[in-house]
Structure 1
């Protein structure tokens, strides 16, 4: 073999080894993380997408694809992505990310060592990452480092200093007399003036230590290693607020001659919100509520944000359109006010604004949680994914998430394609008798459900030993008029981030009070906006009233027994806001009862 061929083989092997390392990025990525590196690493967490990851770091999706080509085919929880550092002069929609460097925490690193690495005061790093704590400062987590740290403030202190003042020895003075005259020990005088060991000589110049008070400027920067690392464990006091100031921003569209269906829903939200205000006042909570009509666009929003009541608020709640939400979110961040976004699930401010609480769960988080729940519920079942091929509502993303979860947990499943002519006879061949069977259709439409429900009920009735179960989607709760009996017969489970049990005392009381106050019933929609307003108000009123500025550290203790919308807020990263990841599993039992279980109760 000639020399050129040998070089070619070596070069080919080197390329393939590099490719293999790049593909297995979960275990082989080496985190260098020097302060001047132009990349860092992000560990993928549940519910994240390439878009959301790119947005939180202010980079483009294609920037991530270039460094991680395999991510075009999908990303998996626990894997690492290479992320480019944003240039300090980057322009465009960077959400302020250009003002920071991002650092991935390595083994044995501490807040003190990171502070020394970047020569940035530790308290400024902590302030830039409001979610940072002893628990979240862990290997693989990302934090942001201010590029241009501000100079630490100095405080004026009075200190006692000692100065050496020259003194000429007078005739007949002795060491004893000099020490008495200046209130200094003879030992101290000799220490500063060794010549006095040979005796006291008139006319000689010696130095007398004199104490005096001086005002000096002292830096407030914490430099002690133990004190720096203790910043991660510092606790805030939970102080009850005497009054909770709330500003509610909704599109009442007062210029409309008659409220549209959309406007009517927001009016109902406001009405449910008022019921929450009344309930909290009955519990002793004093609430000052200011209400504003946002209209369409940003014209009214800009005027609203100039109102003194808004700036003094403890809570900002509302705004519907993204063009309205963004300026409100920036205002909330600047003035350090908690901002609750109750409606949209498609807003990016939560990814970089620590004051944002997003109530409506983004689809990626919902699918991830639902897949996790499905895997846990049915890990001991014979799982059949039923391909219905309904173009109106293909749950492709959820099904893909579910398959990934099942594979990672090593739970087996089958796939079967629906055929109208043969379904009733062939589907039975997929069932087993040694364990329960669960059918998961790939569509959530009523049309798809109507295709499969009757044959499945017939089989379940004739062969109870199959123990058939159906697992489906949030919109199924709107089909109860057509499918309730079948739901009971098939022991049906659905996942949803909202559910109201009309037979529960909480829902009954809400309906009764709503009708008493407003002389009408809530609009028949899913979810019901009046209940959403009530649940949102109760949760945040209780949290802010009880824990004040320390609410974020007590979210799990903010108790409200929701009637429709549950709350389980999780911070999206160490510097961003909170997303509601609550998930209900609703079960239609064969004994004609309905149970609602939260995911963390499974």
Structure 2
């Protein structure tokens, strides 16, 4: 998903509007003249003289010239040889369904309705549909040079300076970013300059990109000054981008983030500032718990389809008992039945709130072809939501076939990144979300503490990420899958020590936690991980050791609380003669959330607009965010802490 995001985001970076004006620096090579340079860029000589008046006296080798680039010369205008049809968006229509209806690509629709690059299609919105051969031109993206490395941002005082001629539409933020300076540093060496004017000469630092990338005037981006205590991870959450995308926009970040640095960041949908409290993508409301039971206003019967692998084909007329015995050996079937029991409990709960449900259940047999057969053989036109299938491939098959109808397909249990269908909802946060949430927690809490990273060879990727955001951290590498007391003791200090353990090897986890438990008698140690692998759950790993080390980890579900679920447990045992397990509770939480969203809004999509906060039930919470490549993912994650008394609580900042 990260790499797809990077690709999509870079496409937005380089797709400029038809009237955008761009500039770049050209370094004069041996034998070049103003005329030959003008021919290279398909501009007049006067255009070069306009921005480089000294060039009239001659140009020299390695001299830098400002070259104006009119983006309209490399991308056809919206009105040229292309006709349009206006279309008013109807309920449940998507870009995909419109592209099929009008036989154009999604990219073509976005090209002539540029607001769709940064926000979702809205019901009632009027958009232009291109008719005829309208194909995008990617010339700018192909010809745009990649940013060269930038030297490390300077300290608070600039000692060496050079002259800079202000170009049209340049700002202090843009110039500071170009030369790797903070805004205060730029203003300090230009104390008399209050407002910039084109052609004005100002002083700047001497560090500049060797080959300055094209400077695109584009209202989808703005400049942002880094505030104290902000981290790369808090910025990615604030602006809804990945770390890789932020670094692509700001090459100087390769040397680290610092207070006062000026960054280029994406503008938010509808021009909303990320500092606004009502911005649904982030901010306070995204962290507000919503109780949808108080907002029920849609009393229509909810049409729900449940698609799970039951393998009912294995049941013969006289072999019910045989099937009952065989499912004990089929984990996926057992999970499906437990989940189904939770769904039934949620429907009963919704009924007590006045929400009626018509549930249809289909057997997918863990097969994409069976999913296709079910959808082809049944009427899905009035379905409000499909829950399931369990596995990735059947889920994608269901979403692909129901996307044109805009019917939501909610995967209940998989944490794998899936293809970007517009109607696909992943209710379990992906491992990438889990990792990034923990990385942000670590980044936020590492200041003033001694950080040690223990990672084996398989964890080289996360070790690299940790070392990138924590450059002063010490690294301990296991020897023959073993970590000794001595190896760890040499890295600990008298203050607070954060040890980040990344491994799925039982021996590495066991030796590290045992050694740290002994060293914790004389040191303040907190143990953390970005991925609580199965190795941490092994019987040879002492929970007492993990409790003594205040073990912190990310989780999809919070700890099962018998007290909080006492009444639910009683009702469940009365109905099924067995205690509910985590899959039954997951079925209950997910289904009740879907029914309450449908009952408190026009449809599932509308509920996200009306209620930007998160919902929470017995074990799970839900906050769906749009994926750049399509669909939605739940990003609501628990950061948990194992206490000395072996109780589990939500982690607060250290």
TM-score (norm 1): 0.57
**Structural mapping, 1:509-524, within 5 Å:** 509-522=567-580
> Within the alignment, does 1:457 sit opposite 2:527 as a pair?
no
1:492–1:588 CA contact under 8 A, matched in 2: yes
Counterparts of 1:580 and 1:285, CA distance in 2: 24
Provide the residue aligned with 1:328 in structure 2. 398
Does residue 561 of structure 2 align to residue 496 of structure 1? Answer: no
Which of 30, 39, 44 is the matching residue for 1:7?
Answer: 30
Contact kept in structure 2, 1:320 and 1:343, CA below 8 Å: yes
Looking at structure 1, the residues matched to 129 and 476 of structure 2 have their Cα atoms a distance apart, in angstroms, of 52
Structure 2 match to 1:530: 584
Aligned to 1:139: 221
Q: SS in structure 2 opposite 1:474?
A: coil
Q: 1:112/1:498 Cα in 2 relative to 1: closer, same or farther (>3 Å)?
A: closer
Structure 2 contact 614–622 (Cα < 8 Å) conserved: no
Q: List gaps (5 residues or longer) in structure 2.
A: 1-28, 38-65, 77-94, 119-123, 131-218, 223-238, 241-269, 272-277, 281-294, 315-322
Q: Any conservation in 2 of the 1:382–1:436 contact (CA below 8 Å)?
A: yes
Distance in 2 between the 1:98 and 1:500 partners? 46
Corresponding residue of 1:437: 497
Tell me how far apart the structure 2 counterparts of residues 273 and 31 of structure 1 sit (CA, whole Å): 59
Q: How does 1:183-582 map to 2 (within 5 A)?
A: 240-256=298-314, 257=323, 258-259=326-327, 260-306=330-376, 310-346=380-416, 348-349=418-419, 351=420, 353-389=421-457, 394-406=458-470, 412-419=472-479, 423-433=484-494, 435-461=495-521, 463=522, 466-472=523-529, 473-475=531-533, 478-479=537-538, 482-506=541-565, 508-522=566-580, 528-549=582-603, 550-557=606-613, 559-563=615-619, 565-573=620-628, 576-582=630-636
Structure showing the higher helix proportion among its residues: 1
- Relative to 1, partners in 2 of residues 1:458 and 1:354: Cα closer, same or farther, differing over 3 Å? same
Once residues 255 and 298 of structure 1 are traced to their aligned partners in structure 2, the CA distance between those partners, rounded to angstroms, is 16
Relative distance call for 1:495 and 1:321 in structure 2 (3 A) is closer
Alpha-carbon shift at residue 537 of structure 1 (Å): 0.8
CA drift of 1:481 comes to 7.8
> Aligned-residue CA RMSD in angstroms?
4.4
User: Contact 1:304–1:310 at 8 Å: present in 2 too?
Assistant: no
Which position in structure 2 is the counterpart of 1:101?
Answer: 108
**Alpha carbons of structure 1 residues 533 and 444: separation in structure 2 relative to 1, 3 Å:** same
Tell me if structure 1 keeps the 8 A contact 2:296–2:599. Answer: no
Correspondence for 2:126: 123
Residue 597 of structure 1 deviates from its aligned partner by 4.6
The offset of 1:440, in angstroms, is 1.2
Rounded to whole Å, the distance in 1 between the matches of 2:647 and 2:518 is 21
- Counterpart of 1:585 in 2: which secondary structure? strand
Cα drift, residue 340 of structure 1: 0.7
User: How many Å apart are 1:450 and its aligned residue?
Assistant: 1.1
Residue by residue over 1:423-444, the C-alpha shift from the partner in whole angstroms, topping out at 9 and shown as x without a partner, is: 21342121112x3101112303
- Counterparts in 2 of 1:238 and 1:278: CA distance versus 1, 3 Å: closer
The alignment partner of 1:240 has SS state of coil
Q: Note if contact 1:292-1:304 (Cα within 8 Å) is conserved in structure 2.
A: yes
Q: Deviations over 1:137-158 (max 9, x none)?
A: 943899xxxxxxxxxxxxxxxx
Shift of 1:522: 4.6
**TM-score for both structures, normalised by structure 2:** 0.53
SS of structure 2 residue aligned to 1:469: strand
* Helix, strand or coil at the partner of 2:313: coil
Q: How many residues align?
A: 398
Question: Which structure has the bigger radius of gyration?
Answer: 1
Listed as ranges, the gaps of 5+ residues in structure 1 are 1-5, 15-27, 39-56, 59-87, 90-95, 115-120, 128-136, 143-228
